[in-house]
Amino acid sequence: MARIPLTTFAAVIVHIATGSNLGTRIDHLDRADAELSRLGRVLRVSPTYETAAVGMAPGTPDFLNRVVEVELDPAWADNPEGTMQALLDIERDMGRTRVEGNVSSRPIDLDIVLWGDRSLDVEALTVPHPRMMGRRFVLQPLADLVPGVSVPGSGQTVLDLLRGLPADVPDIAPWPTA
């Protein structure tokens, strides 16, 4: 009887920052969490935080943000470009319109901030996310999930980066607020 060789699959855990500042923001985040199951198994979801729309016009609605931890299915684990395209497809399906070079309000924003312990620099995707290290609205929910994880290329853990943010980085608030 012939034996079928067993293949081994090393699980890849990604952390995806999610945000919304249009419409029923929490419903958009909840739907995005469900849509991320297209990529694999959603393991955990951080608490939700509210933050001002940094770098946007006065009066722009505040964002709700959180981080989702996903164990990628084997089909996605070695396909960062395809995974990013799947996130862009989810954004489009949820009503986001991207305009190159324009920062605008959106029903959903999905960014891969960590790809296991790897650094990636491929077309249209850099991981760790290039701006995450200065964003409390990414680092706080990420620290809620993986405070001791070393951020590739930084020499620091997520919690170290959060604690080291300058005082002028905008605060965030747990949501819903009491």
Domain with 148, as residue range(s), is: 13-175
Q: Does 160 participate in catalysis according to the annotation?
A: no
How many whole angstroms separate alpha carbon 40 and alpha carbon 26? Answer: 22
Active-site pick, 25, 106, 135, 136: 106
Q: Does 38 participate in catalysis according to the annotation?
A: no
Q: Does 98 participate in catalysis according to the annotation?
A: no
Q: Per residue of the chain (178 residues), what is the pLDDT tens digit?
A: 556 555 555 789 999 999 999 999 999 999 999 999 999 999 999 999 999 987 888 889 999 999 999 999 999 999 999 999 999 999 999 987 776 656 678 899 999 999 999 999 988 899 999 889 999 999 999 999 999 999 999 999 999 999 999 999 989 999 986 5
Bridge partners of 125, per DSSP, are 122
Active-site pick, 66, 96, 135, 136: 96
| Domains identified in the chain, total number | 1
In a domain, 6, yes or no: no
In a domain, 7, yes or no: no
Q: Does 30 participate in catalysis according to the annotation?
A: no
How does pLDDT run across 31-77, given as a tens digit for each residue?
999 999 999 999 999 999 999 987 888 889 999 999 999 999 999 99
Active-site pick, 31, 109, 135, 136: 109
Which CATH number belongs to the domain containing residue 81 in this structure? Answer: 3.30.70.560
In a domain, 127, yes or no: yes
Active-site pick, 111, 121, 160, 171: 111
Bridge partners of 109, per DSSP, are 19
